[in-house]
Amino acid sequence: MKQSIFAILALIATATGAWAHSKAEETTPANEATVASVEAIEMRFDDPMRVIAITLTGPDGEVDIERETGMDAVTEFRALPPADLPDGAYTVDWRGLSADGHPMQGTFGFKVAD
């Protein structure tokens, strides 16, 4: 009986750990925000994340951004868009690897308006 209880507890602990992947807790600009300008695109994660790809898409298609954060696993990621983004809706798509090696991805959007 004791072995069965230990086996069940081990299974629960393993299943709970599998759900504990890094996630973006906060973004700048905030998701669905309307801003006058964008100095940086930032993401803060609850656990280290290695962001392996990030794209910014605007009203005229993909926008070139400069990664300020390298490829190391970090809890704060930062990229720089062009100085003057035209008014319109923008979407940030990212992919990464969490600290436990699982692939992760996310999307957030914002609007630029004067």
Residue 97: give the domain boundaries.
22-112
Does the pLDDT at position 14 exceed 90?
no
- Look up tokens 């798509």; give the residue: 93
Note whether residue 100 is domain-resident: yes
The count of domains in the chain is: 1
State pLDDT tens for residues 28-44: 999 999 999 999 999 99
Note whether residue 45 is domain-resident: yes
Residues 41, 78: Cα–Cα separation, whole Å = 6
Note whether residue 12 is domain-resident: no
Give the CATH number for residue 74. Answer: 2.60.40.1220
Backbone angles phi, psi at 64, to 5 degrees: -70, 130
Note whether residue 59 is domain-resident: yes
Note whether residue 11 is domain-resident: no
**pTM of full prediction above 0.85:** no
Note whether residue 83 is domain-resident: yes
State pLDDT tens for residues 55-80: 999 999 999 999 999 999 999 999 99
Exposed/middle/buried for residue 45 (C-beta within 10 Å: 0-12, 13-18, 19+): buried
24: nearest Cα among 93, 70, 101, 80: 93
Residues 55, 107: Cα–Cα separation, whole Å = 10
Residues 85, 108: Cα–Cα separation, whole Å = 17
Note whether residue 80 is domain-resident: yes
